[in-house]
Structure 1
């Protein structure tokens, strides 16, 4: 009995000691995150990570890129920070409340991480890095809670990991822009509604479960077949196809020989003495360059018709437009060239003109010259992505045209001009300035359109990137339509930094980076412009110069109460709404907060704006 009692006592003491040791070895969230930070290189953007300050204060984040909930770290949003080095998954795995991580748009490289150590993760965003190599088939085993996986635009290779097909809650999967090969496995998840397999090396039939998706989601895979792409051929069909290919090759060789013969004949004719004084025919344009189309575009920009031959026909075939919408009647470049053209303006990136088709609607054509570095496939894929957008406050893109030297984007013409004209040019047009209800309606529509872009283009850091009053068009009912959105990925970087609004934000001026809250800052500046009637001076800067902006001026004269000096004196309908106008002004200042951590995110911004009413109701802000 004594021996048993002594043994029991020893066991009890051992259990207590182990518990104490375990508690001692358990690291705090701050210590775990510091371990994670120390494994990274180029981590200057995480300078606010200080072990002396907790990462979370209830739901408020004290550390950059940390997302908090009930005092705990539930997410890491470390995007566009230039980070590289090793990712300490073991440290992250000890964060019990961690549910989402995003390392998009950084410089991480190497093999896929052991993410299944984070079994409770719900969202994983690794797009736009330099990860490479084959992902193990079982890489996602045990991740039963994962809903969103973004691996796009890396260098992953090999087959798509089969463990992805066993994730019961998966709803979004982005694998585009990699080097995945082999067949697409069968995804049977009923909730999976957003996928992208484009621009890989996949082959074989597309699974029936994915056959109803848009064909663009499978583009850039030459050997994929089956709905929604072309029907797969039978084995016998493949043999016939090889025979056909041989015949075509022979035909090509014959054609090349004929072309060489023609060139020799033309060369001899050119050197013949009796033809030496005759005017030379127009030289053919270099390969890959459509000389006629370029000249025609120049003439169209000037509102001129293209040159015609003696029989009234164009000397070359029309430029082919790529259409993105089925609800608009098709037309080609020759129709635009025959249209009555009117130059609407010449902006930072090129010219905009109005083309009234002889049969059909009036279109707006924007000509961009600052996208020269964008590859053809990359541009096509991005435009198809923008073409899928559909919202009452977003002007849809109807068609586009790609040339290496320039791009065209075609949309439907809206009669009621831009918000900038209504705010700053109505007097010269003899038109009244928008009243308070109209301005509030515009603010709400713009914010709803911006929120839609955020939800529809999650992989873009700044889904609009160029939000300003001249890029908001008003229709006949004064409903705002956003234009020039989603162009950051396809504009030359130097030109974007010089001209685009996202690159004039406080975070870019201070740290040289753009964040998910950059568009929110632009929205705040736009609201201040709408309320004050003043044009934002910082939008006129060419990426340099003074940091002064409209928000700085408002802060200098606004004393937390009504002031005639702040609000536009030409704005009618303000007699019974001073309280609501003050609320909106304060919201705008929150959105213009220079410190990213203090600035509201887009969802909170839209929710707060939606609460503003046309008339006062006596409630405080």
Structure 2
């Protein structure tokens, strides 16, 4: 028999539960709306299913410990297109990483997400102004809105974000003066406002703390040295210079007209004077035309200044004045009309850029000081430092004419449109009959090859396991993106090796040299490119995505063993310190594993770490799966990246025990600029 006194209590509990359920925002609905608005390619459709995002493992979504609210949304580089409006209800978000997509609209909807700590929205198509209400996100540590179309002023309200560590607003169209943030943002460690339209006096506190390089590309700025002196009292020069002369001649000031009424005298010019004036004008016109022709001929010839010459085997910086003589030169075609390579008079000396920001002229590149970084099978790479301090990597192709101009430009477009955090950014190219230049972002921290093999011996700093696995994961993701982007045309990387895995300023692994194999026919590409070759290529003489997988497997074994693939230990007595020509690295590893000497495989530097044996063996199996002789049995690069992720899932600093006092994030998670996936 039911107790009548328990009925009111039961009703109260049920009402409370219902009320609580109704009060909790439905994050799943918000995410579903976001997918419907932005995921035109359906990349999330198969995974983002079910009625509860927190109960299932939705891609890029992480929830709080009680699985009630979404705290992380990380979906970089998925070609998402659409607005951010549907994310406004996610007011418990702590990390939002949507960089390198094609999202549009304004940032304003995110001002409702007041618990955000990390906000990464770089490389999108966001527009409008930075909303002053962004100051309501009091816990914000890192804000990256770079490489968008944001306009208007930098709001002074940013000074209220006193926990901010990073502020990146470069490569937008922001205008107005820069507010003095130095007094309030005492924790700010990184500030980048380059390549905007800012003007006026730069606060001395910001200049002293961050240096002028954080503000370059804003021609209207002035202030303390090394900036121009602020000599204006009214409108800043950058604003005044935008005033234009009216295009309508009738609106221009007219010369005074002399009245010729009655009583006025009028003296006419004689015939001889008129003839003399006409002759003088013709002579003057001929002189002016001669100077103009001479100027442009000299200008064309000036483009033949050497980009970077260097003596064989030496790495040294040269100033522009030292270029010349017997050094190789950058040529432009002289004479009018179209040249034999299809380069017309207007295009012959221009760099072709893939981004609207950070453009510069060919003359700037030729004046740059240059240092040879290395020589490869397709050309020589130089580090070029422009006059404004911007640093680029410039590859000069070894062959003057690897292919016809039209074909070359098509290949460059293929390479240039690919953008991913783990692929070196291709910025521009230059085409002339005698010279081809490729311009990339300069990555300052060397290559995976130098980290693995450089300075082996006393004094070497070991490459730890966490860093190794982070770098190979970044490289795997970069290759997976290439294979995915060009899955229909089956375009491979074609030159996978550890020296083509470079590290950016944050230690993120980026794959370089993608697409250069397109410039060669398949036989020459296999013969000349220095990547790790798959066994089938000896017969087919062709590059392929499956061969890329094999090359990556060799790279993975190189990371595990610490041995360069050119070293061949004996299979009969597989000790690391003995070498014998004739057996490649995959065969040696298989022979060691077959003889159950697995511990002999791994780099001695790795054996010092505790509790990673299982991870080492699992990673070894991934490498061996990649280097199976039969191409059809190899996994795809997407599957390889997933296998590596499953072996070692790094704990994000955004867990429940996150320490808000930390000034930096884990450097081991090298998947975005700040190391967050």
CA contact (8 A) 2:506 2:667 kept: no
Partner of residue 291 from structure 1, selected from 304, 314, 317? 304
Shift of 1:260: 7.2
Q: 2:105 aligns to what?
A: 110
Q: Aligned residue for 2:347?
A: none
Aligned CA distance change for structure 1 residues 155 and 564 (closer, same or farther; 3 Å): same
Distance apart, 1:151 and its partner CA: 0.6
Which residue is equivalent to 1:87?
A: 84
Is the contact made by 1:127 and 1:150 (CA closer than 8 Å) also made in structure 2? yes
Q: Tell me which of 76, 79, 82 is aligned to 2:73.
A: 76
Query: What displacement does 1:579 show?
Result: 9.4
- Is the aligned partner of 1:406 residue 2:437? yes
Residues 297-354 of structure 1: CA deviation (Å, up to 9, x unaligned)? 4x96799xxxxxxxxx9599999xxxxxxxxxxxx999999xxx9x964235x22699
Match of 1:154 among 136, 148, 151: 148
Q: Report whether the alignment pairs 1:122 with 2:117.
A: yes
The alignment partner of 2:462 has SS state of helix
The answer for the alignment partner of 2:157 in structure 1 is 163
Partner of 2:462: 441
Q: Which moved more, 1:577-586 or 1:144-153?
A: 577-586
Size of the aligned set, in residue pairs, is: 450
Distance 1:86 1:525, change over 3 A: farther
SS in 2 for 1:130: coil
- CA offset digits 1:464-517 (Å, max 9, x no partner): x998433589xxxxxxx999988969x89754999999xx9xxx979xxxxxxx
Shift of the alpha carbon at 1:104?
A: 0.6
Q: Compute the RMSD of aligned alpha carbons.
A: 6.7
Q: CA separation of 1:403/1:233 partners in 2, compared to 1, >3 Å: closer, same or farther?
A: farther
Distance (Å, rounded) in 2 between the aligned partners of 1:239 and 1:579: 62
For residues 554 and 178 of structure 2, what CA distance do their matches in structure 1 show?
41
Q: Give the TM-score of the pair, scaled to structure 2.
A: 0.49
Change (3 A) 1:523 1:193: farther
Counterpart residue number, 2:562: 530
Contact 2:96–2:118, Cα closer than 8 Å, also in 1? yes
SS at match of 1:38: helix
Distance 1:227 1:142, change over 3 A: same
Which aligned pairs between 1:37-76 and structure 2 lie closer than 5 A? 37-42=35-40, 44-52=42-50, 55=53, 62-68=57-63, 70=65, 72=67, 73-76=70-73
Q: Does 1:197 align with 2:193?
A: yes
Q: Give secondary structure in 2 for the equivalent of 1:594.
A: helix
> What does 1:258-269 correspond to in 2, within 5 Å?
261=287, 264=290
SS of equivalent residue, structure 1 residue 101 = strand
The 5 Å alignment of 1:417-428 reads none
Correspondence 1:217 to 2:231: no
1:177 aligns with one of 171, 183, 186: 171
Shift of 1:218: 0.3
Q: How far 1:112 sits from its partner (Å)?
A: 2.5
Asked if 1:346 is matched to 2:372, the reply is no
Alignment of 1:148-547 (within 5 A): 148-187=142-181, 188-212=184-208, 213-227=210-224, 229-235=226-232, 261=287, 264=290, 284=298, 286=300, 290-293=303-306, 297=309, 314=325, 345-348=375-378, 350-351=379-380, 367-369=395-397, 405-406=436-437, 441-442=462-463, 447=468, 468-470=497-499, 494-495=515-516, 524=556, 526-528=558-560, 530=562
Distance in structure 2 (CA, Å) of the matches to 1:64 and 1:551: 36
- Cα deviation, residue 443, structure 1: 5.2
Note the C-alpha offset of 1:164: 1.2
Query: Given that residues 39 and 88 in structure 1 are in contact (C-alpha distance below 8 angstroms), is that contact kept between their aligned partners in structure 2?
Result: no
Shift in Å at residue 216 of structure 1? 1.4
CA 602–13 in structure 1, closer or farther in 2 if over 3 Å, else same: closer
TM-score, with normalisation over the residues of structure 1? 0.53
- In 1, are the aligned partners of 2:131 and 2:155 still within 8 Å (CA)? yes
Structure 2 counterpart of 1:101:
96
- Listed as ranges, the gaps of 5+ residues in structure 2 are 1-6, 240-282, 315-323, 331-365, 384-392, 399-407, 417-423, 476-480, 483-492, 520-528, 535-543, 547-551, 569-583, 624-639, 653-665, 670-677
1:181 and 1:202 in contact (8 A); partners too: yes
Residue 523 of structure 1 and its aligned partner are, at CA, apart by: 7.8
Report the Cα distance in structure 2 between the residues aligned to 1:205 and 1:367, rounded to whole angstroms: 38
Measure, in 2, the Cα distance between the counterparts of 1:448 and 1:597. 9
Deviations 1:72-109 (A, max 9, x none): 43211110000012334456425x3x211011111111
Q: Does the aligned pair in 1 maintain the 2:465–2:606 contact within 8 Å?
A: no
**Post-superposition offset of 1:123:** 1.2
